[in-house]
Amino acid sequence: MTPPAGVLVLAATPIGDPRDAAPRLAHELATADVVAAEDTRRLRRLCADLGVTPSGAVVSYHEHNEAARTPELVERLTAGDRVLVVTDAGMPSVSDPGYRLVDAAVAAGVRVTCVPGPSAVLMALAVSGLPVDRFCFEGFLPRKPGERARVLAGLADERRTMVFFEAPHRIDLSLAAMAEAFGADRPAAVCRELTKTYEEVRRGGVAELAAWAAEGVRGEITVVVGGARAQVVSLEDAVPLVRERVAAGERLKDVCADLAASTGLSKTALYNAALPPRLTAARTRDP
């Protein structure tokens, strides 16, 4: 069966400075059969900055209408149209509308591609001063205090650097909740108005940053938080923990892998040390 000729294009838009737009973005805006925009007014402003006029249809595509509009766009795609999706800033589908359409397009056998470009997540990571070899993106925290506290409690032992988006009127509460869940001194960076005139990066412990944010913060905010440090546990202290969990029904191999990840100890050393003495002797006896 020949796949549909249409193409879905996800295009990253500037997160602040319009000069950051990829050169290909203007071409896609000018030539797409359909431009699906999170905010058509912002799209007009972007097009004016780039000196381009869309030749295709321009439709709104946001969180309140994406469920209803997705089938219409898939129909255009399967008919052979090139559909361009743009959000207010950054890459569509990353904490913005787009995922639902990508999922539907893939299911329909439509080709999906993207125009790479600005990313608040990657820029905040790069300037945070925190480890970036391993990281995870957590998006926006829940608005309700109880739900927010539960989510953060579940991330307290996360070893990777974490990235969050937050609204300016909630940033002080979120940072205070992080201090409660992660400890007051957990290192973090609050990145505000990235690429814009008043770009600012504040670094420090989450409690210190919460106190700063309580005075009032404006603009688009990305928060980068350091991961939990490995627990400092000796092999001798860890072995009783391994045996206790194995006695409760867990597999020795799984327990050793879990503790090795959280403590930095050798998985093999944990495994050998936790074996009953007779099995240890059998493993080390010469054949």
* Closest to 12 (Cα-Cα) out of 23, 129, 165, 2: 23
Token couple for 220: 């688009």
Only one residue has tokens 């052979």, namely 80
| Distance, CA of 60 to CA of 196 (rounded, Å) | 26
- What is the CATH code for 121-225? 3.30.950.10
Give the mean model confidence (pLDDT) for residues 252-280. Answer: 81
Burial of 19 (0-12, 13-18, 19+ CB in 10 A): exposed
| Distance, CA of 80 to CA of 32 (rounded, Å) | 11
Architecture of the domain defined by 7-118: 3-Layer(aba) Sandwich (3.40)
Per residue in 119-169, pLDDT tens?
999 999 999 999 999 999 999 999 999 999 999 999 998 999 999 999 999
* Position 280 confidence tier, pLDDT thresholds 50, 70, 90: very low
Dihedral sign, Cα of residue 171, residue 177, residue 179, residue 181: negative
Please give the full DSSP string across 85-131, using - where no structure is assigned: EE-SSB-TTSSSTTHHHHHHHHHTT-EEEEE----HHHHHHHHH-S-
Give the mean model confidence (pLDDT) for residues 1-19. Answer: 87
Q: Given this model, what pLDDT does residue 277 score?
A: 64
| Distance, CA of 62 to CA of 141 (rounded, Å) | 20
Indicate the pTM of the whole model. 0.78
Q: Given this model, what pLDDT does residue 23 score?
A: 93
